[in-house]
Amino acid sequence: MSGSYDESAGADDTMDSFWEVGNYKRAVKRFDDGHRLCNDLMGCLQERAKIEKAYGDQLTAWSKRWRQLIEKGPQYGSVEKAWLAVMTEAEKVSELHQDVKNNLLNEDVEKVKNWQKEAYHKQMIGGFKEAKEAEEGFKKAQKPWAKKLKEMEAAKKTYHMACKEEKLAAAREANGKTEASVTPDQQKKLHEKVDKCKQDMQKAKEKYEKSLDELNKCTPQYMECMEQVFDQCQQHEVKRLTFLKEALLDIKRHLNLTENQSYATIYRELERQILGANTQEDLKWFSNNHGPGMPMNWPAFEEYNPDQAAAPPKKKKPDGAPPTPSTDHVAPPGDRSSVSSYDKNQAYSAEWSDDEQPTTYSSNENGGNRNSFEDDSSTGKGVRVRALYDYEGQEQDELTFKAGDELTKIEDEDEQGWCRGRLDSGQEGLYPANYVEPI
């Protein structure tokens, strides 16, 4: 036992003690609270799972968008590959967060749900079997003591009333002795009243003391029985608290990605890709494909060829044109296996002047919302031209027209001798610049 009644109640007499009649209900309520806390934990985990899924989805969307922008942008070589490795990191981390979501829902939530079902048994009439058994046990343990307590409270009340009556009678007798109007016979009656009140008070006191003594004798047995029932409640609570601790450790293991070997591998691979970036190799590639290292057909003396005007020139398509399988129809691209698609086939004009303005990437000029790597579209109205010769398009992106047909030139001639135009039917495509003349 935990000690006497007064000791367990504490120094504060107003304390709402467990030992008071009916105060065991808080221990019973703990069963209802335990079941509700299981629901709360499952709800908590379900919300976290939604957060994990949303974060994973956002990582995937971010990676997809920026992978396209980087591949389309001007960055090239091994540094581009290292940059793209950051997108790969996001995709793999997204997968891990999706795994966290699945573990929370499929393992942790299910584990709590199954334990809750085994630990709390609902009754047809409502409530839980465990709570009902505890309440019945407490009622049975408390009933004899509560009966004695009620008797003692009644005896105490009777005694206190008798004390009050005795004091009133004594006060009347004292007043009667000082008042001349009170006759000796009346004084005698007042004195007899005081004696009777004293006798009644003594009897009430004896009954009160006897009732209190019986209650005190009953108290140890009462405390023992109540503690037995309480210990049964504690045993159930031990199981709940132990399970909750184990469940939280499982949750921590699922949430802590630093303990996941795959997580560490992702960042080792990212570091390897970044450290693998080779500045000199990238510079060499750019020089060979867009700089002094490029091959050049230097001007040489050529004899006049009357058929030369009728033959279409070698063609290199402007940016954005679909690739063609014809090797003699397209300028050979450089060897750039890991470089972005942006400007892979871009034609760098040999003509320049001081009047040309450099391309800017200001967010203001792009409307503040566009990425600086996104292609600009030509918005010119075009120039009307007339065909000098018949031309049959050799590929899907080329126009077909007859001599004398009129069309609109929408892009100027490139260094390969090709223009982009639009037929009156609305079809757009490429055609040899020397096959038309301005109208």
Q: How far, in Å, CA of 75 to CA of 282, rounded?
A: 10
CA distances (Å), origin 125, targets 25, 36, 129, 419: 19, 18, 10, 87
Q: How far, in Å, CA of 425 to CA of 439, rounded?
A: 18
CA distances (Å), origin 244, targets 4, 222, 238: 34, 33, 10
- On whether the CB atoms of residues 134 and 237 are closer than 8 A, the answer is no
> How many domains is the chain partitioned into structurally?
2
Quick: pLDDT tens for 147-167: 999 999 999 999 999 999 999
Residue 62 lies in a domain: no
- On whether the CB atoms of residues 222 and 8 are closer than 8 A, the answer is no
Domain final residue pick, 176, 196, 221: 221
Backbone angles phi, psi at 311, to 5 degrees: -95, 130
HSE toward the beta carbon, residue 29, CA cutoff 13 A: 5
Domain range enclosing 408: 383-438
Predicted pLDDT at 305: 79
Quick: pLDDT tens for 75-96: 999 999 999 999 999 999 999 9
Mean pLDDT of all residues belonging to the chain? 83
The contacts of residue 119 (CB under 8 Å, 6+ apart) are: 34, 35, 130, 236, 239, 240, 243
Quick: pLDDT tens for 262-300: 999 999 999 999 999 999 999 999 999 999 999 988 999
CA distances (Å), origin 381, targets 356, 378, 406, 422, 439: 21, 9, 15, 11, 15
Which two three-digit tokens encode residue 155?
A: 């005896």
Buried b / exposed e along 188-204 (16+ C-beta atoms within 10 A): eebbebbeebbebbeeb
To 10 degrees, what angle do helices 129-178 and 25-72 make?
130
To 10 degrees, what angle do helices 184-255 and 110-119 make?
140
Task: Count the Cβ atoms, other than its own, within 10 Å of residue 433.
Answer: 18
Task: Count the Cβ atoms, other than its own, within 10 Å of residue 112.
Answer: 23
Which two three-digit tokens encode residue 133?
A: 């058994």
- On whether the CB atoms of residues 251 and 45 are closer than 8 A, the answer is yes
Residue 406 lies in a domain: yes
Quick: pLDDT tens for 339-382: 343 433 443 333 334 444 444 444 344 444 444 444 443 444 78
Domain final residue pick, 221, 250, 268: 221
Residue 34 lies in a domain: no
Predicted pLDDT at 232: 94
Domain final residue pick, 221, 244, 273: 221
- On whether the CB atoms of residues 430 and 420 are closer than 8 A, the answer is yes
Predicted pLDDT at 261: 92
pTM of the model: 0.61
CA distances (Å), origin 9, targets 229, 282, 331, 379: 18, 82, 97, 89
Which two three-digit tokens encode residue 432?
A: 């040899």
Residue 164 lies in a domain: yes
Q: In percent, how much of the chain has pLDDT > 70?
A: 79
CATH code: domain of residue 404: 2.30.30.40
Which two three-digit tokens encode residue 109?
A: 């939530």
Residue 187 lies in a domain: yes
Q: Is residue 180 over pLDDT 90?
A: no
Predicted pLDDT at 306: 76
CA distances (Å), origin 369, targets 320, 362, 374, 378: 22, 11, 11, 19
For residue 119, give the 3-state DSSP assignment. Answer: helix
| Stretch 131-159: mean pLDDT | 95
For residue 384, give the 3-state DSSP assignment. Answer: strand
The secondary element (H helix, E strand) that includes residue 383 is strand 383-387
Residue 334 lies in a domain: no
Q: Is residue 103 over pLDDT 50?
A: yes
Residue 352 lies in a domain: no
HSE toward the beta carbon, residue 228, CA cutoff 13 A: 13
User: Which has the minimum average pLDDT: 88-97, 301-310, 429-438?
Assistant: 301-310
Predicted pLDDT at 177: 80
Strands of the sheet containing 418-422, edge to edge, are 428-432, 418-422, 406-411, 383-387, 436-438
Residue 372 lies in a domain: no
- On whether the CB atoms of residues 114 and 202 are closer than 8 A, the answer is no
Tell me the residue type at 16.
Answer: D
Predicted pLDDT at 396: 86
Confidence of residue 16 (pLDDT cuts 50, 70, 90): confident
Q: How far, in Å, CA of 278 to CA of 369, rounded?
A: 32
Tell me the residue type at 153.
Answer: E
Predicted pLDDT at 102: 97
Taking Cα atoms as reference points, which of 352, 347, 280 lies closest to residue 320? 347
Taking Cα atoms as reference points, which of 62, 270, 30 lies closest to residue 134? 30
Which two three-digit tokens encode residue 394?
A: 């050799």
Confidence of residue 308 (pLDDT cuts 50, 70, 90): low
